[in-house]
Amino acid sequence: MKFRDGMWMTAEGMSVQHAEEVYDIRETERGLSLLCPTKRILRRGDTLNTATLTIELEAEIDGVISVQATHWDGAVNRGPHFDLYPAGKPAVKPQVSRDEQGTTLSSGSLSATVHPGEHTFNIGFHATDGSKRLTSMASRSVGFAVNPAPTSELAVGDMRDFKHFIFTQTSLAVGETVHGLGERFGPFNKLGQSVKLWNADGGTSSDQAYKNVSFWLSSRGYGVFIDNPGKVELEVGSERCNRVQASVQGQRLKWYLIYGKNPKEILYKYSILTGKPGKVPSWSFGLWLSTSFTTDYDEATVSSFLEGMRDRNTPVDVFHYDCFWMKAFTWTDFVFDSEKFPDPKGSISRLKAAGLCKKVCVWINPYIAQHGEAFRVAADKGYLVKRKNGDVFQWDMWQAGMGLVDFTNPEACAWYAECLEGLFDQGVDAIKTDFGERIPSRDVVWHDAEADPEKMHNYYAFLYNKTVYEALQRRFGDDQAVLYARAGCAGTQRFPVTWGGDCESTPEAMAESVRGGLSLGLSGFAYWSVDIGGFEGSPPPWIYKRWVAFGLLCSHSRLHGSRSYRVPWTIDGDDRSEEGCSRTLARWTALKNRLMPYLFAQSAEAADRGLPLSLRAVCLEFPEDPTSWYLDRQFMVGDSLLAAPVFDEGGEVEFYLPRGRWTSFFTGEVRAGPGWFRERHGFGTLPLYVRENTVLVLGREGANSGAVYDYAADVEVALYQVREGASAALVDGNGRALGRIEVGGDGRLRGTEILKGQWSVSEKGRKVDAAAAGKGIELLE
């Protein structure tokens, strides 16, 4: 939201006042409280008929300072509130000092200094050791606005006719870029954008987002988390070109400035604040196959799909039943359609016993259609959200007469979890938690009378996914719970996995999806997936195959569509050639499964550090490289592999390699960065480069057991330009740490006693079949 018309004028209909000076500084138990009048106080009479803003600076943890700006402190601060420091808050001792530079609050490595000048407003944030200036709140950067502009001071005696906003602005340095803010499909660098943090079902080709996360990361070495689950509006260099403005409707706005010596440290501290990503089991990294959305399928269809995948040498680890496992007009009543699935428990058991899949996932959402069995129970017991007149909140969008589960009601949460238990009893192992964005914010009353309907709009996704995730944990174990969520907000990274929503079957939508995954990864989410082939439309074979290559390098990989199936033989008429969809899918599935020793070890580190596994933005690994902050068509898979999807039918692709030596995974050719490169690829490869000084542990080539096997047995340990100290962690299939393999001073590997079977070492990168090396790859000048 913009409050000004250019630099000099106020926006039409707005009355705006700014903090003009710091009149008084009071030291508090945790920091500083600043009294800031909205005009300069030159004489005593100026204190009359003058508004003030209170700015509280508090030391939170090492490297984190919170900032709260308040106009009228008597306003009720209704919930919900983000669940902060879920694992406990580390101790920090605030330090306050005063000198000619001003009054400084230090919280470990981060400090905020209030300028000492008389009739001045300026608060600078910097490294405590003086090594770096980060950002500042300069003149006229904190204020409040009233709309419509009151005709007199007395008019605001009745605030029901007015909207009150509070805003803060932080400065942007020359060349600074801004990233994150959830799963956003537009430009990777948010500079110049107006961003509204308000969950919406808008697809991937709009400025709306399913997962709005009130955290952004700056290329200058800090992050900002806005502590408000309601609608937050940002002007990222779009109202004042040199400032980021955040505003909310209300009387107070609180945010946290997070400093770290690199972006990874910033994300780690953010994970302390809002929660670390949960760990997920090894089977979840394998290939997921879906029925797709509105297709007509039954038990025979499911079996034929899985048998067809087996016949084409493509193991499926997870089979997913989308919406129509339930009867039309009954979603979500948790009951299999008896006509299509007369014996769901037996059917699922037979699929697993035959080795056609390891696990089963089903689709649900939090909207309860009135024609399903669950509606009457939920309505009678008060488990559904109500209108202000006492009616159950219903509408006919999506499902006829649907109500909305009230997850602020503990009894409703327990009932919903009990319904899930019935599915687990039938053999269901994972849950796709779809929707959760279309949450009403008007004419609605929650069970929790303190819940602000506007704040509940985004926060609903947290409560919904938390309920399902904890039900999975109770049934299967803490690190064995897997859901597949679409909606999210700050904190829902604790409940993995998420996917990118409704994309079209086009190369442009694939690029949109890459940007969405990169942005979400810089918002604290470790795992992310996408509908391979695109959700809307029917992909031509070339798009399907290019998307398969991209999708199998995401942390999680699922074939899913809307009105058409995504099994490969339906895409190209069952072309069984090497360039056909079936062989392409088989090759990329085999590659991902072979990477599992590396991926699963990297997954454990990503969860512990609050980092994205894949898609990981290149700037996380190479923050000192200015180009890395603009790369939105490529990504890291963990810390050692760089991948560049191909968006062109003919296979031409341009990509960037940061400084260092990089080895092509497919050919063994070494390239030196930094620099841009162009290649042309067939459907079996893409630019996939291994970083120098990498010890890459690969599973046995040719194995066809899926993603779950013994990651220490029969492995190939591939060394890429290693130096002393280069190492790789190894975990078993349950995520238990086995140890590290490390290069010693004599160049020999240490720690190999954790390896089993017929393992081998390849000293110049992995063994590449000379006949296959470079097949389908053309280097372009």
CATH assignment, 7-72+116-122+133-274: 2.60.40.1760
DSSP 350-392: HHHHTTS-SEEEEEE-SEE-TTSHHHHHHHHTT-B-B-TTSPB
> Rounded to an integer, what distance in angstroms lies between the CA atom of residue 7 and that of residue 713?
65
Long-range contact set of residues 409-414: C-beta below 8 Å, sequence gap at least 24? 409/382, 409/383, 409/447, 409/448, 411/381, 411/382, 411/383, 412/378, 412/381, 412/382, 412/383, 412/384, 412/447, 413/463, 413/467
Q: Which two tokens stand for residue 108?
A: 């470990």
Q: Which of 176, 227, 317, 437 is catalytic?
A: 437
Q: What is the CATH number of domain 618-780?
A: 2.60.40.1180
Tokens of 621: 């690994």
Residue 431, both tokens: 């849950």
> Catalytic annotation on 239?
no
Q: What is the pLDDT of residue 535?
A: 97
Which residue do the tokens 């559904």 mark? 384
d(CA 640, CA 630): 19
CA geometry: angle at 445 spanning 273 and 72, to 5°?
Answer: 60
Question: For 464-509, how does the pLDDT look when each residue is reduced to its tens digit (9 = 90+)?
Answer: 999 999 999 999 999 999 999 999 999 999 999 999 999 999 999 9
Exposure class string for 191-228: b at 16+ Cβ within 10 A, else e: bebebebbbbbebbbeebbbbbbbbbbbbbbbbbbbbb
Q: Give the model confidence (pLDDT) of 248-277 as tens digits.
A: 999 999 999 999 999 999 999 999 999 999
Q: What is the reported pLDDT for 781?
A: 66
Q: Please state, in angstroms and rounded to a whole number, the distance separating the CA atoms of residues 371 and 330.
A: 5
Cα(677)–Cα(148) distance, integer angstroms: 55
For residues 84 and 520, what is the distance between their CA atoms, to the nearest angstrom?
19
| Strand extents, DSSP E, 391-473 | 403-404, 430-433
Q: What is the pLDDT of residue 777?
A: 87
Name the token pair of 99.
Answer: 């000198």
On whether the 282-363+409-609 domain is CATH 3.30.450.20, my answer is no
Residue 648 to residue 57: CA distance in whole angstroms: 51
The two structure tokens encoding residue 446: 């929650």
CB atoms within 10 A of CB 284: 28
Q: How far apart are CA 474 and CA 564, in angstroms?
A: 35
Please state whether the peptide bond connecting residue 514 to the residue before it is cis, i.e. omega within 30 degrees of 0: no
Given the residues 60, 227, 235, 434, select the one marked as catalytic.
434
* Alpha carbons 349 and 226: distance in angstroms, whole number: 47
> How many residues in the chain?
781
pLDDT reported for residue 405: 98
In the chain, where are the structural domains located?
Answer: 7-72+116-122+133-274, 282-363+409-609, 618-780
Question: Is residue 502 annotated as part of the catalytic site, yes or no?
Answer: yes
Percent of the chain with pLDDT over 90: 96
Query: For position 771, what pLDDT does the model report?
Result: 65
The residues facing 55 across adjacent strands are: 34, 69
**Helical axes 541-551 vs 581-594, angle rounded to 10°:** 0
Residues 447/74, Cβ–Cβ less than 8 Å: no
Q: Which whole-number Å values give the CA distances from 63 to 300, 337, 605, in the listed order?
A: 57, 54, 21
Contacts of 251 (CB under 8 A, 6+ apart): 70, 71, 72, 73, 75, 144, 164, 166
714: number of Cβ within 10 Å: 17
For 345, the token pair is 């428990």
**Which residues does the chain have with pLDDT short of 50?**
none
Check: CB of residue 235 under 8 Å from CB of residue 242. Answer: no
Whose CA is closest to 499, among 546, 582, 558, 411? 558
pLDDT at 772: 66
Do strands 777-780 and 670-681 pair parallel, antiparallel, or not at all (unpaired)? antiparallel
Judge if 282-363+409-609 and 618-780 fold alike in CATH terms. Answer: no
Q: For 180-214, how does the pLDDT look when each residue is reduced to its tens digit (9 = 90+)?
A: 999 999 999 999 999 999 999 999 999 999 999 99
* pTM of the complete model: 0.97
Nearest in space to 499 (alpha carbons), one of 571, 450, 577, 559: 559
CB 761 within 8 A of CB 749: yes
Cα separation, 474 vs 467, in Å, equals: 11
CA trace torsion 681, 683, 684, 689 (10° rounding): 40
Residue 376: other Cβ atoms inside 10 A: 12
Catalytic residue among 58, 502, 632, 742: 502
Two tokens, residue 72: 């009228």
Beta bridge partners of 685: none
**Per-residue pLDDT tens over the stretch 537-575:** 999 999 999 999 999 999 999 999 999 999 999 999 999
Answer yes or no: 434 catalytic.
yes
